[in-house]
Structure 1
């Protein structure tokens, strides 16, 4: 309970909410598909939440809530992909710097792309369940991968730098 009432948790939660809104807001205005802060949010949560359980729960809850509002169906693969992105955040947890955040952004987008476009995972798909179908699925997903990668880079920079600057100004936010 003490962690939940801490200034650090409150600020991290507000950043999570702001990032989650980037997923729902594009449905109200013109947008670029997959250019949201949700991937960066998963990396950020993995790197910043002291409680590992909360690091997984916060971005997945943000996904679930935004899925309700935007009417997306629940896809276990998408949630598994975001879980892998949180794990990428764990890898930079005690080594947050520009290089590591860029690497985590790239690696997590790549893992998400590989998981969610692997045609064999889906019982009903536009693509045949063979190597040609898998390659076609990956080729069709490249524009979405590019947008997610750019979104991860941009929003990771915003989230990590915002929290860094806030924690310099307010030392109570430090781990």
Structure 2
């Protein structure tokens, strides 16, 4: 039984590692601005929330992945790129996104993954841009200022939504296909 649990954990980690690897490669592109928010981190959060039965691992892994990728991006692009004022709100948003995956994806279906992706990106938009709003002097500290911050973030959040939908589709479809081929991955009482 331990072997089945380990196999599932390894497969989940491989999926997450592949998606996050793409986040680290994006800054090397000459068209980085186009890919900056087309990220798989939202999909990783939802995926972890849906599949990890160990809630601690479900939250810890996406946070660790975001931290490591931020550190890497900080080295590649400069420290202010990864750890700007209010950066911790992005981590709070990610934790809430894992919660969305846990609450909304009890059974993996196209509609459940789609709606969870929309909800998770909405949470990310509100929470992470709250950090931008209070962390910088760009917008006044009024409700209108927060609204202006949210409106300015729409192009970035749309790319984040597209990335979350694409990567969620790939990750969930591939893992469900693997579960059919390798029934040991469906072991219900695993440690992950």
**Shorter-chain-normalised TM-score: which range?**
over 0.9
How many residue pairs are counted as aligned between the two chains? 174
> Among 105, 118, 121, which residue is 1:106 paired with?
118
CA distance in 1, matches of 2:118, 2:111: 11
CA distance in 2, matches of 1:159, 1:107: 18
**Alpha-carbon distance change, 110 to 169 in structure 1, aligned in 2, over 3 angstroms:** same
Root mean square deviation of aligned Cα: 1.9
Give the corresponding residue for 2:157. 145
**Alpha-carbon distance change, 94 to 119 in structure 1, aligned in 2, over 3 angstroms:** closer
Contact 1:15–1:159 (CA under 8 A) maintained in structure 2: yes
**1:56-96: CA deviations, max 9, x gaps?**
01111110000111001172100000001100110234221
> Among 83, 103, 120, which residue is 1:73 paired with?
83
Q: Which runs of 5+ in 1 are unaligned?
A: none
Contact 1:127–1:137 (CA under 8 A) maintained in structure 2: yes
Pair 1:136-2:148 in alignment: yes
CA distance in 2, matches of 1:9, 1:159: 14
> Among 81, 85, 95, which residue is 2:107 paired with?
95
TM-score, L = length of structure 1: 0.92
Alignment of 1:1-175 (within 5 A): 2=2, 6-29=6-29, 30-31=31-32, 32-71=35-74, 72-73=82-83, 75-118=87-130, 122-174=134-186, 175=188
Greater fraction of residues in helix: 2
Give 4+ residue runs of structure 1 displaced > 4 Å after superposition: 2-5
CA distance in 2, matches of 1:106, 1:18: 22
Which of the pair has the greater relative contact order for Cα pairs under 8 Å at 6+ separation?
Answer: 2
CA distance in 2, matches of 1:152, 1:159: 10
Contact 1:34–1:144 (CA under 8 A) maintained in structure 2: yes
